[in-house]
Amino acid sequence: MRDVFHEQLDSVFGDLATICGEVEQAVRLATEALLTGDAEIAERVISADVEIDRARERVEETAFELLSLQQPVAGDLRVVVATLRMVTELERMGDLSVHVAKIARLRTPFVAVPDEVRPTVSRMAEVAEEMVSKVSRIITGRDVQAAIALGRADEEMDRLRRTSFAELLADDWTHGVEAAVDVALLGRYYERIADHAVSVANRVVFVVTGENPRAVGA
């Protein structure tokens, strides 16, 4: 009976990794739409989000079935509860990608990101996508060390966020309030994607070790 239970748990983690891959694609395509002003790509991201939502629902259903039918205790219960929290984090990352795509769609046929801040926004997008990709591998391998390293890597995103604020608040900003709002929102969206990625990685650490990630990484 317990073997079946653990097989089901492994299957849930596989589903989480699959969702993470879909989120990675959403981040990549949303950024492409943003930097090229391509409304069609933006629509693809927005439309595809329903699949991430459905995948989240399937994971939740499986987790609730495990809770009700298997009545897990101790470490097994910790894993089931963690999967419920992780899938919610992943869905939110998908939602944030949709927000990026909506800004891209709103400004077409123009590009929402002014040339002066394009390097910063582009790098924020790259970091976000890289972090999502790493989370997928962390989930699949339940890799504690990689999860801890991801938390440290988030520092670059924080620096980029501060840089973007400095750029849009500079005295020589000539692109108006609308563009400033767009850049501020985009910075927030990418930063939150990174934050959720770290949160998922931290939950993997907790699943594997039963300890606070900060204590493990100390």
In terms of pLDDT, which residue wins out, 81 or 113?
A: 113
pLDDT at 164 over 60: yes
Q: What is the mean pLDDT of residues 157-183?
A: 93
Q: Provide the CATH number for the domain around residue 67.
A: 1.20.58.220
Helix then strand then coil, % of the chain, to nearest 5: 90, 0, 10
Q: How confident is the model at residue 213 (pLDDT cuts 50, 70, 90)?
A: low
Domain that holds residue 76: 2-217
Q: Which helix (H) or strand (E) holds 170?
A: none
Give this prediction's pTM. Answer: 0.92
Residue 169 one-letter amino acid: L
pLDDT at 218: 44
pLDDT at 4 over 80: no
Cα distances (angstroms) measured from residue 6 to each of 2, 68, 128, 204? 6, 15, 32, 16
Q: What is the DSSP string of 124-164?
A: HHHHHHHHHHHHHHHHHHT-HHHHHHHHHHHHHHHHHHHHH
pLDDT at 214: 61
Q: How confident is the model at residue 15 (pLDDT cuts 50, 70, 90)?
A: very high
pLDDT at 215 over 70: no
pLDDT at 100: 98
Closest by CA to 97, choosing from 193, 200, 199, 196, is: 193
Give the count of domains, the chain. 1
On the CB side of 154, CA atoms within 13 Å amount to 22
173, 115 Cβ separation under 8 angstroms? no
Q: How confident is the model at residue 2 (pLDDT cuts 50, 70, 90)?
A: low
| Distance separating alpha carbons of residues 206 and 117, to the nearest angstrom | 38
Q: What is the mean pLDDT of residues 89-116?
A: 96
